[in-house]
């Protein structure tokens, strides 16, 4: 995610106010306390927007964030936040509860009630913000799941953690139709997490099924280079049968084997033309993306793109020493 704020080039005396203003303008009004001297304050923030879903990714020195009672009363539109911890730990406090977040854990909290976020070890965190109305969940249910560690013991939350971390990191998903395509499934997945955490199986079931195709395709992309990628493994990772896997993908117009092959060929094509394309043999690049047989790889590549992988590299790769094969 491209940074929109980096205090490294700012005068120390301006950093605290610039950070506060940026967070107020882009996310929500909060008090921010930096326990380190002004010259030691370091904050790097990136922003992304997917329709009503806003993402702020931050790396920073230690900080405490407080949404005071007065600020909460002034809220015009109730908002829900998802805070996803990447490294280190942090603490979320709201509604008389507090939860500790470790890497991969996340918690939700609301703008309409005071909360405190403590990042004593520094910040490495993704913050997602959306209107509370978009979740369409009862207010009582939301109150019951705020400031609760989500991840351990909840398989739906573990899936969501992987999904939201990739969503925050993938710049291409914020462009055009891609951004529109992920809004509804993202909200549905969060709704499923919160409903399942609350023990409401009925509310959790429909969003899980609605987002299954998207979660499967994201998982496949993340494991594309795995040599043991198979229908059985994909199905097992999502707790469904192979037959159900094929049915779900078929409804989305996806033929599993053809789609995986096309994705892998696209990665080979990209890598062959990239800066490291001449540092490895064509066969090695093919093997990296699951094409074990070099002759077969060359044939399917040429069938897909009308040119052999070696010729593609020679025409499109950067200059430099070549490896044969």
pLDDT in tens, the chain (325 residues): 556 799 998 999 999 999 999 999 888 999 999 999 999 999 999 988 888 889 999 999 999 999 999 999 887 788 999 999 999 999 999 999 999 999 999 999 999 999 999 999 999 999 999 988 888 777 888 889 999 999 877 788 888 998 899 888 877 666 555 666 788 788 888 988 888 887 655 555 555 666 677 778 878 888 888 878 999 999 998 888 999 999 988 887 888 998 899 989 988 998 898 887 778 899 999 998 989 889 999 999 999 999 999 999 888 866 544 444 5
Query: Beta strand pairing status for 31-33 and 43-50?
Result: unpaired
**Distance (Å) of CA 207 to CA 154, 168, 210, 212, 214:** 15, 21, 5, 8, 12
pTM of the model: 0.64
The side-by-side arrangement of strands in the sheet containing 3-6 is: 3-6, 43-50, 53-60, 123-131, 79-85, 106-110
Tokens coding 29: 């009004």
């Amino acid at each position: 995610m491209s940074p929109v704020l980096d205090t490294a080039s700012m005068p120390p005396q301006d950093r605290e106010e610039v950070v506060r203003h940026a967070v107020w303008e882009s996310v929500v009004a909060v008090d921010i306390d930096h326990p380190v001297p002004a010259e030691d304050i370091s904050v790097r923030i990136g922003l992304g927007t997917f329709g009503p879903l806003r993402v702020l990714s931050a790396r920073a020195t230690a900080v405490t964030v407080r949404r005071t009672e007065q600020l909460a009363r002034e809220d015009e539109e109730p908002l829900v936040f998802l805070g996803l911890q990447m490294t280190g730990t942090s603490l979320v406090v709201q509604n008389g509860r507090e939860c500790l977040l470790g890497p991969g854990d996340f918690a939700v909290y609301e703008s309409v009630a005071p909360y405190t976020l403590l990042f004593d070890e520094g910040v490495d965190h993704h913050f997602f913000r959306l209107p509370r109305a978009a979740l369409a969940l009862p207010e009582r249910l939301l109150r019951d799941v705020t400031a609760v560690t989500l991840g351990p013991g909840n398989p739906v939350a573990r899936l969501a953690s992987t999904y939201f971390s990739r969503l925050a990191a993938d710049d291409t998903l914020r462009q055009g139709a891609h951004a529109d395509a992920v809004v509804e499934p993202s909200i549905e997945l969060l709704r499923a997490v919160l409903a399942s955490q609350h023990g409401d199986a009925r509310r959790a079931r429909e969003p899980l099924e609605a987002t299954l195709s998207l979660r499967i395709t994201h998982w496949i992309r993340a494991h594309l280079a795995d040599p043991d990628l198979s229908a059985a493994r994909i199905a097992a990772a999502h707790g469904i049968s192979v037959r159900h896997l094929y049915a779900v993908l078929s409804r989305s117009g996806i033929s599993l084997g053809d789609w995986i092959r096309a994705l892998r060929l696209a990665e080979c094509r990209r890598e062959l033309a990239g800066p490291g394309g001449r540092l490895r043999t064509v066969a090695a690049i093919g093997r990296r993306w699951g094409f074990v047989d070099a002759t077969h790889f060359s044939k399917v590549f040429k069938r897909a793109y009308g040119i052999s992988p070696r010729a593609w590299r020679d025409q499109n790769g950067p200059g430099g020493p070549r490896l044969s094969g």
